[in-house]
Amino acid sequence: MKIKILLAFPPSVNRLWRAASSGKVYRSKVYTDWLKTAVMNAKIQAGNRKIEGSYKLTLEVVRPDKRARDIDNLCKSVSDCLVQAGILDDSKCEYLVAKWVKGEYPCVVTVETITPGDTDGQNGTSTNQD
């Protein structure tokens, strides 16, 4: 199975959490606002499709500006979104791809089932294209 989801540009892992003067850590407003909308969009786009087992997660992200950014810092918020939307269990991710692209959408997320032990993510058992 393959599920493709279009999302707004995800917040960096550096912006997910904040610390109060008391030392208590909490989710940032940037993250909670993005996550609320992203989860709703993911649920709508995935419908009733869910990934039950091992999967490959691919992020294709458009740079919003010319600042230097670490693409791997975007993976956590996207994965959290997919878990909260009930689409997958992030402990079953076997393969992760994140790449900068020139595209129409800020973030295209593709999740596809793979055969357990598939170390390069190329032997997916896709039964439902897009």
Domain segments of the chain: what residues? 2-113
pTM of the model: 0.85
Q: How many CB atoms lie within 10 A of CB 111?
A: 24
Q: Are 60 and 107 contacting, i.e. CB atoms less than 8 angstroms apart?
A: yes
Phi and psi at residue 61, to the nearest 5°: -120, 135
Q: Which residues make beta-bridge pairs with 114?
A: 124
Distance (Å, whole) CA 23 – CA 52: 38
Q: Which CATH superfamily is domain 2-113 in?
A: Holliday junction resolvase RusA (3.30.1330.70)
Tens digit of each residue's pLDDT, the chain (130 residues): 999 999 999 999 877 777 888 988 878 899 999 999 999 999 999 999 999 999 999 999 999 999 999 999 999 999 999 999 999 999 999 999 999 999 999 999 999 999 866 656 666 544 444 4
Q: Mind giving me the DSSP string for 51-106?
A: --S-EEEEEEEE-SSSS---GGGGHHHHHHHHHHTTS--GGGEEEEEEEEE--SSS
Q: Are 57 and 99 contacting, i.e. CB atoms less than 8 angstroms apart?
A: no
- Which pLDDT score is estimated for 21? 85
CA-angle at 35, arms to 90 and 10, nearest 5°: 80
